[in-house]
Amino acid sequence: MQGTEIQDNYSCMVAEIGENEIIESINTQTGQVIVKEKDTRVSDIQAYLNNTDDSTISKVEDTILEIESNKIKNGGM
């Protein structure tokens, strides 16, 4: 093509992302990477258990133990 110029501009950003973090956005003006905690729902589960009777908590614990036991029996799946 006559009269056109191609320029390749590359930028590289390095950011430390923690194990339980994900990139939320990148500020293109400052180059800052904004991260947030992964949504593990741990706080939701903890709030639920804090507001639940002991019988229900026991059932939840039994269910979790059964699931983990099945994972082990199935080779970690």
Domain count, the chain: 1
Domain that holds residue 29: 21-73
pLDDT, one tens digit per residue, over 28-48 is 888 888 888 877 777 778 888
For the chain, how long is the longest CA-to-CA vector? 79
Residue 3 pLDDT more than 70?
no
In a domain, 39, yes or no: yes
In a domain, 16, yes or no: no
In a domain, 34, yes or no: yes
> Encoding tokens for residue 44?
């939701």
In a domain, 15, yes or no: no
Scanning 1-77, the segments in alpha helix (DSSP H) are: 42-50, 54-73
In a domain, 26, yes or no: yes
Mean pLDDT of the residues in the chain: 81
